[in-house]
């Protein structure tokens, strides 16, 4: 599967957050997140391993009650069923890969 960048197909699951699945296979799924400054992803967990990369902006991330400030070029891997959340400190763009595929993120 190949993806050519375009502005179609974004959904807004939370205020100030837009997301779009870019590509997916049988075992992984890649999603782009566009976050407005001040938007928040509440603390949550899921069975998917989540690996991310911050393209632009700054995020305050919370993983297992620890805080991490992510800046462009930083990356992370959050194991399955681990409490995590984030706050966008600036207008931000993050790309994350989920394994196994998050069926609710399929286009």
Which domains can be identified in the chain, with CATH numbers? 22-105 (2.60.120.10)
d(CA 86, CA 39) in angstroms, rounded, equals 8
pLDDT at res. 101: 98
Collect the ranges in the chain with pLDDT lower than 50.
none
d(CA 22, CA 33) in angstroms, rounded, equals 10
Instruction: Give per-residue pLDDT as tens, 18-29.
Output: 999 999 999 999
pLDDT at res. 47: 98
Instruction: Supply 6's token pair.
Output: 């375009």
The radius of gyration of the chain from alpha carbons, rounded to an integer in Å, stands at 13
Q: Nearest CA to 51 among 83, 101, 95?
A: 95
Please state the length of the chain. Answer: 107
pTM above 0.85, yes or no: yes
pLDDT at res. 46: 97
């Amino acid at each position: 599967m190949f993806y050519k960048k375009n502005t179609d197909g974004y959904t807004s699951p939370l205020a100030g957050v837009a997301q779009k699945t870019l590509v997916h296979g049988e075992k992984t799924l890649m999603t782009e997140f566009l976050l407005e400054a001040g938007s928040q992803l509440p603390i949550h967990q899921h069975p998917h391993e989540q690996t991310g990369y911050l393209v632009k902006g700054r995020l305050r991330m919370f993983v297992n009650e620890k805080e991490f400030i992510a800046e462009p070029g930083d990356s992370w891997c959050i194991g399955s069923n681990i409490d995590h959340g984030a706050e966008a400190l600036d207008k931000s763009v993050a790309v994350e890969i989920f394994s196994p595929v998050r069926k609710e993120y399929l286009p």
